[in-house]
Amino acid sequence: MQSIDLNSKLEGKRRRLQKGLEYACKSALGITALMMLTFFLALGYRGIGAFSQTQIEINVTSIESSTKSTINQSMYNLIKEPDRKTKKSLRQLVTPNAYSKIDITEVGTYVLVAHTDVDMYVKGVYNKLDEVQQVIVDNLIEQDKIYRTWNWDFWTNSDSRSPEIAGIWGAVVGTFYTIGIAILFAFPIGVSCAVHMEEFPQRKGKGWKRYRDFMEININNLAAVPSIVYGLLGLAVLINFFGMSRSISLVGAITLGILVLPVIVISARTALRTVPQHIRDASNGLGASRLQTTIYQVLPAALPGIITGTIIAIARAIGESAPLIMIGMVAFILTAPSTPMDPATTLPVQIFLWADSPERGFAEKTSAAILVLLVALVTLNLLAIWLRKRFEIKW
Amino acid sequence: MFIWIGPKQKSSGFNEDLIKGFFRISSWITIAITFAILASLSYETIKFFTLVEPRDFFFNTTWSPQTAFRADSVGSSGEFGFIPLIWGTMFITFLAMLIAGPIGLLSAIYTSEYLKPSQRQIVKPLLEVLAGIPTVVYGFFAAIVLGPWLREMGVTLGLDVATESALAAGVVMGMMIIPLISSITDDVIKAVPSAMRDGARGIGATREETIKNIILPAALPGIVAGFIMAIARAIGETMIVVMAAGLAANLTANPLEAVTTVTVQIVTLLIGDQEFDSAKTLSAFALAFTLFVITFILNWIAYRNYKNAINRLKQ
For A257-289, the pLDDT digits (tens) are: 999 999 999 999 989 988 888 888 898 888 888
Question: Quick check: A225 and B37 CB within 8 A?
Answer: yes
Contact present, A95 and A164 (Cβ < 8 Å): yes
Contact present, A356 and A345 (Cβ < 8 Å): no
- Compute the distance between CA of residue A370 and CA of residue B138 in angstroms, rounded to an integer: 10
Chain B contact for A21 (CB, 8 A cutoff): yes
Residue ranges of the domains in chain A? Answer: 49-150, 169-391
For A93-118, the pLDDT digits (tens) are: 777 776 666 777 777 777 778 788 78
Compare CB distances from A229 to B30, B143, B288 and report the shortest one's residue.
Answer: B288
Residues 46-105 of A with CB under 8 A from B: 46
Residue ranges of the domains in chain B? Answer: 79-314
What's the confidence (pLDDT) of residue B48? Answer: 85
Mean pLDDT, residues A46-60: 81
Query: Which residues in chain A have their CB less than 8 angstroms from residue B110's CB?
Result: 25-26, 28-29
CA-based nearest distance B40→chain A, Å: 6
User: Over 90: is that where the pLDDT of A304 sits?
Assistant: no
Query: Which residues in chain A have their CB less than 8 angstroms from residue B282's CB?
Result: none
Compare CB distances from A352 to B106, B136, B276 and report the shortest one's residue.
Answer: B136
Per-position b or e across A39-74, b if 16+ CB within 10 A of its CB = beebbeebbebbebbbbbebebeeeeeebeebbbeb
What's the confidence (pLDDT) of residue A261? Answer: 93
What's the confidence (pLDDT) of residue B8? Answer: 64
Smallest CA–CA distance from A45 into chain B, residue = B145
Could you report the average pLDDT of every consecutive run of 10 residues in chain B (315 residues)? Answer: 62 70 88 91 87 79 65 58 86 92 91 87 82 89 86 84 83 91 88 87 85 88 90 90 80 80 86 71 87 90 85 78
Residues 362-381 of A with CB under 8 A from B: 363, 366-367, 370, 373-374, 377-378, 381
Mean pLDDT, residues A291-312: 88
User: For residue B278, how far is the Cα from the chain centroid?
Assistant: 29
For A221-246, the pLDDT digits (tens) are: 888 899 999 999 988 888 888 888 88
CA-based nearest distance A101→chain B, Å: 32
* pTM to 2 decimal places: 0.87
CA-based nearest distance B233→chain A, Å: 7
C-alpha distance across the termini of chain A, in Å: 51
Mean pLDDT, residues A142-170: 82
Q: Select the CATH number that applies to the domain covering B79-314 from these four: 1.10.1670.10, 1.10.3720.10, 1.10.579.10, 3.40.50.300.
A: 1.10.3720.10
Alpha helix positions (H), B237-278: 239-244, 262-270
What's the confidence (pLDDT) of residue B67? Answer: 56
CA-based nearest distance B130→chain A, Å: 8
Res. A186 pLDDT band, cuts 50 70 90 = very high
For A206-225, the pLDDT digits (tens) are: 778 888 888 888 898 888 89
Task: Report DSSP letters for A322-359, one per residue.
Answer: HHHHHTTTT---SS--SSTTSB---HHHHHHHHHH-S-
Q: What's the mean per-residue pLDDT of chain A?
A: 83
Closest CA to B57 of B77, B37, B76: B77
Contact present, B132 and A319 (Cβ < 8 Å): yes
For A315-370, the pLDDT digits (tens) are: 989 989 889 988 888 778 787 788 878 888 889 999 998 888 877 778 888 888 99
What's the confidence (pLDDT) of residue A263? Answer: 92
Q: Select the CATH number that applies to the domain covering A169-391 from these four: 1.10.10.10, 1.10.3720.10, 3.30.70.250, 3.40.50.300.
A: 1.10.3720.10
Which residues sit opposite A58 in a β-bridge?
A: A110
Contact present, A309 and A270 (Cβ < 8 Å): yes
For A19-43, the pLDDT digits (tens) are: 888 888 889 888 888 888 888 888 8
Alpha helix positions (H), B62-115: 83-109
What's the confidence (pLDDT) of residue B68? Answer: 47
What's the confidence (pLDDT) of residue B7? Answer: 64
CA-based nearest distance A144→chain B, Å: 34
User: Over 70: is that where the pLDDT of A202 sits?
Assistant: no
Top residue of B137, B203, B231 to mutate, by most chain A CBs within 10 Å, is B137
Question: Quick check: B266 and A20 CB within 8 A?
Answer: no
What ipTM does this complex have? Answer: 0.87
Mean pLDDT, residues A179-199: 90
